Amino acid sequence: MPDAPQPFHPHTEPAAIEDLRTRLRATRWPDSPGEAPWSLGIDVGYLRELIDYWAGEFDWTAQETALARLPRFRAGLGGTGIHFVHARAVAPRGRALPLVLTHGWPDSFWRYVKVVPLLTDPGAHGGDPADAFDVIVPDLPGYGYSDRPAAPVPDARAVAGKWAELMSLLGYPRFAAAGGDIGSSVSRFLALDHPDRVVAVHRMDAGLPVFTGDPASLSQDERDWLDATRAWGAAEGAYGIMHRTKPQTAAVGLTDSPAGLAAWIVEKLRAWSDCGGDVERSYTKDEILTNVTLYWLTGTIGSSMRMYQANAAIPPGQHARRVEVPSGFSLFPGDIQGPPRSWLDRVANTVRVSEPARGGHFAPFEEPEIYAQELRDFFRPYREFRG
């Protein structure tokens, strides 16, 4: 039986912060080649500026206190302790729709902290109180404040099973699901394996394409998208190959060096966000460093990367399954390679596709108001099925 949820209030010892600052001040810097900034990965000049701020001005205690305003819990699911936010709707008109939101890499529940109040209390943020949700935001196993699982590391399908168990534990027989990145895959498997419980599923992407059929059966748009995705993988996908094949090699350096950890994460925040090349157009230094510091203090960069290897081992037949639960997609312009409608119809019972004007891979954090409205609009017809 799962463990009953217990309130969770983490507190960081001052010695851990002092150790972090000592390591930051002792960073051994690489040279900066004469290439254009960011063209070979992290811009060392920008990273130096960020590390100086992290070591001297960043106030983790203030950020930890701000995160503590969310109602947070831990529960044991199948032997794994899972940390999650469980925020109930504020003064809903009727029963609120339960919604489980799943993040991806390189983040945690951090991805959704800005949208929680917009979803639980839409009336206070320019929305209709009838659109209120009970919001559940778990940290994936091996991420954030959830346990780092021993082998075998759960893949996205196994995590979906844990989320179904969590929703039962919280008293929700039927619920909605949404996510992006790895969270998109988890939400997909929730809809595939628990269609009697998931009323509808919303995703920010359709995942990297897996297609083993005859290419002639694809539309031209689909073929073009597959080609573009392969080109993106060749230019930008080296991190994923490392995660899938030799994550422990990278984990040694990233767990030991906070500057290395920041480089690994911040380069992706910039590349995958709708920031026009300026990462601080989407995030403040405090916001960036809150995400990175969560990884540092929990020591989860290695365990987060290992999930890529688990997901790579999912059998192709699982990728070929079509989602029959009503599905919606919000394709943000700054995200990675948005799929064409023909592909979305191929892989899911797609009832709504939208292309918001702004936002990227981390849209719930970059553009919380837009993302919250996307969820309100998509799930509105399915509220009568709430459990």
Residues with active-site annotation: 181, 308, 361
Cβ 121 vs Cβ 156: under 8 Å: no
Side chain identity at residue 91, one-letter code: A
Contacts of 24 (CB under 8 A, 6+ apart): 51, 54, 55, 258, 259
Strands 97-102, 175-179: pairing is: parallel
Neighbours of 61 (CB within 10 A): 11
Helix H or strand E encompassing 172:
none
**What is the residue whose two structure tokens read 């290395």?**
260
Q: Residue 27, SS3?
A: coil
Q: What DSSP assignment string belongs to 274-340?
A: SSTT-GGGT--HHHHHHHHHHHHHHT-HHHHHHHHHHHHTS-HHHHHPPEEEEEEEE--TBSS-PPP
Strand partners, 330: 354
Strand partners, 77: 80
Distance CA 271, CA 260 (A): 17
Distance CA 359, CA 367 (A): 6
Q: What DSSP assignment string belongs to 194-227?
A: -TTTEEEEEES---S----S-GGGS-HHHHHHHH
Phi, psi of 335 (to 5 degrees): -80, 180
Supply 337's token pair: 């390679």
Distance CA 231, CA 63 (A): 39
Distance CA 299, CA 18 (A): 16
